[in-house]
Amino acid sequence: MAPPKTYRSETVILSYTPLDEADLLVTMYTKDRGKVRAVGKGARRSTSKLVGHLEPLTVVNMSLINGRSMDIISQAEVIQSFSSLKEDLTGISKGLYLAEMIDGFGSENSPSPHLYQLMIDTLTVLQADSSLEMPLRFFEFHLLQVSGLMPELYFCVECRNELEPDAHQFSPNVGGTLCLDCSPEDAHLRPLSLRALKVLRLIERSGILEASKLNISANLSGELKSLLSTTVKYWLGKEIHSNSFLERLHNETLPKV
């Protein structure tokens, strides 16, 4: 019998769940194979060499063995632990939101090095300043783009006319922006301000560092958040749990010291 095939992959851990007595079922996003679910044998024992290497949001050089039904983790070497991001409640909540979106959009046997890099870049920017909201908007927008669900921002998706510098409408259902003259029957249709459209265009053409430095009003930030997270949810077809958690965290009134 041929020996089992092993492979190495740079990967970011998304989540894990306990399996059997001492194992972990780990969901990860690899740079060159897309999403992978693999078993960490004995990983819950304190003596396991995998302890501390399989925490969500950890970037790992992973060795895996091709299993009959599921791959087995044989070795893990931490490249980047994002430890200061994980020590901060806002930071870890935002990081887990990204992980849940990658889990939802990423597919097995369909690698996207671009999506992998987007995850690493966004975690890096959030680790430097977890209070920023723009990295999440940048991530959501580019996640849609990488997934081929890129919303149209320059032409009305109905009449195909070039959009005037004016207020418009937006719907994930029809693929992006519509002029005010077009109003198809669409429950997802919503207003889109000119300022929000301009920021979306900037997010599209800039890098994450430039987009994250953008200083916008709370109103505009709220409009973009609602628009992009609704679009992501629309395509994912389900609520993203950590997003509701972020929402609660945001709305919580902190006691004055």
Stretch that binds Zn ion, among 123-131, 138-146, 171-179, 203-211 (CB under 5 A): 171-179
Please count the other Cβ atoms lying within 10 Å of the Cβ belonging to residue 109: 8
The residue within the footprint of Zn ion, chosen from 25, 51, 79, 182 (CB under 5 A), is 182
Residues 188-227 that bind Zn ion (CB under 5 A): none
**Which residue's beta carbon is nearest to the bound Zn ion?**
156
Whether 56 and 16 have beta carbons less than 8 Å apart is answered as yes
Report residue 89 as tokens: 């409640």
**Per rule CB under 5 A, is residue 38 in the interface with Zn ion?**
no
Q: What are the DSSP E strand ranges found in 20-155?
A: 23-30, 34-40, 59-65, 71-80
User: Which residues make Cβ contacts (< 8 Å) with residue 226, sequence separation at least 6?
Assistant: none
Based on the shown chain and the rule CB under 5 A, indicate whether residue 158 belongs to the binding site for Zn ion.
yes
Residue with smaller CB distance to Zn ion, 59 or 153: 153
Q: Give the separation between CA 157 and CA 165, rounded to whole angstroms.
A: 16
- State the number of binding residues for Zn ion (CB under 5 A): 5
- Ramachandran bin of 176, using left for φ above 0, alpha for ψ from -120 to 50, beta for the remaining angles: left
Supply the minimum distance, in Å, between the C-beta of residue 161 and Zn ion.
5
Minimum distance from CB of 40 to Zn ion (Å)? 52
Could you say whether residue 156 binds Zn ion (CB under 5 A)?
yes
- Toward Zn ion, which CB reaches closer, 201 or 241? 201
Task: Point out which residues bind Zn ion (CB under 5 A).
Answer: 156, 158-159, 179, 182
